[in-house]
Amino acid sequence: MTEEPKTSQETLPSPETAASSATKAAGESAGGPRSLRELIDHVSGRGFRAQLPAEEAGILETLPFPFLALVGQREMKLALILALINPAVGGVLLIGPRGTGKTTAVRSLVDLLPEVPRSLCYYGCMPEDIEVGGIDAVCPECAQKYGRGEPLARMDSVRLIELPLNARMEDVVGGVDERAAAHERLRIRRGLLAQADRNLLYIDEVNLLDDEITDAILDAAAQGRYTVRRGPITATYRSRFTLIGSMNPEEGRLRPQIMDRFGLRVVVRGLSEAEERLEAYRRVHAYQTNPRKTVAQYTTETAILRDEIQAARDALAQVVLPEDVAERGLAIVRELQIDSLRAEITLFEAARAYAAADGRLQTTLQDLYEVAPMALRARRSNFMLEFFASQQVEETEIQNVLEHQINNRGES
């Protein structure tokens, strides 16, 4: 991120310290950039070796387009990285016309995803459940494992879960497991919301999503868990996911309820410079010709970026928000007349993630200004502004009548 002079302020280890020795050596030998922002800008602007022979047909393999091969779109890339570092920012909404790389950018995150603790139990039991609710807070099998000192979770990479537009409600929340029912056992099959726990949940064309499914996602996102009832059986699943959505505004508006659930909002426009558009074409053509070799050109930088994201995520709990920075942020929100408290939450959490990505333990005003447009845009409601204005007229009239009646109560 932005380079600032290092004074008495406590600092985190440099990104290279968090990277593996092989990655660190590669970055140092190449004289590569030292901050996450510089890494993105450097790779996005470097020349691309497009002379790649066509790849021979072989076993089908899904190789996402490299995140660092995306040309331009700095704000979109920054917003997605901040969401990986700090899930508390509340996810990301990408708004823009077709063909601007929104879906490609989200799917390219798979090579950058950090690690999180993952339950080894079918019911999702975790060690923190015992710490909070005691041994009865986990299933009997996990209680026995805990008593024997066996682990209840392991570290695993965050996954990208996509919610298709044609998904049914049972696909989303879960339904009766037909395989178990065939053996005269009733068990609820986990839905996509349960699978998305501690993962990224991506909804393309989120504005076209069915209202019933939208309501289920809103409820699960708000509570971090949801309950499914199918006949005599009930199951409760965790659903602590980072929500990422993309939409084309000309295809329809997004319901205010779900719009408010997205922390960072990015307006994705097409590339305006001819050189950038030509470079984007060259990279896409090379990827379509030989995806494996195209991905290989970014392997070193991708590994460095992934390690930096993990290091920033691990250090996030230590990053503090000074009082003067918080007060300035509150003043910005107040002046913009934003009512939702999620504005401050997103603004401050994004600023903390920005500082962590820059290897600092304290946020600054510059961090605030860098993330404020993404955190605060599209949060004001013209309808509510007009409603409050008209309501103020009625409130004034009520107060005048009350004062008149109280002041003249002895005259009746």
| Strand partners for 360 | 11
Strands (E), 87-181: 92-95, 115-119, 153-157, 160-162, 174-176
| Cα distances (Å, whole numbers) of residue 162 to 171, 289, 320 | 12, 26, 33
| Residue 243 buriedness (CB in 10 A; 0-12 / 13-18 / 19+) | buried
In the DSSP assignment, the letter for residue 12 is P
In the DSSP assignment, the letter for residue 57 is P
Nearest CA to 270 among 79, 96, 67?
96
Provide the residue type at 45 as one letter: G
User: Cα dihedral sign for 381, 384, 390, 393?
Assistant: negative
Q: Are 319 and 362 in contact (CB under 8 A)?
A: yes
Catalytic residue among 118, 282, 342, 377: 342
Strand pairing report for 233-238 and 225-230: antiparallel
Q: Tell me whether residue 342 is one of the annotated catalytic residues.
A: yes
In angstroms, rounded to a whole number, what is the distance separating the alpha carbons of residues 124 and 240? 12
Nearest CA to 125 among 111, 143, 98?
143
Q: Are 379 and 337 in contact (CB under 8 A)?
A: no
Q: Are 23 and 302 in contact (CB under 8 A)?
A: no
In angstroms, rounded to a whole number, what is the distance separating the alpha carbons of residues 162 and 246? 12
In the DSSP assignment, the letter for residue 94 is E
| Cα distances (Å, whole numbers) of residue 114 to 71, 109, 348, 369 | 23, 10, 22, 26
Q: Any idea which residues carry the catalytic annotation?
A: 342
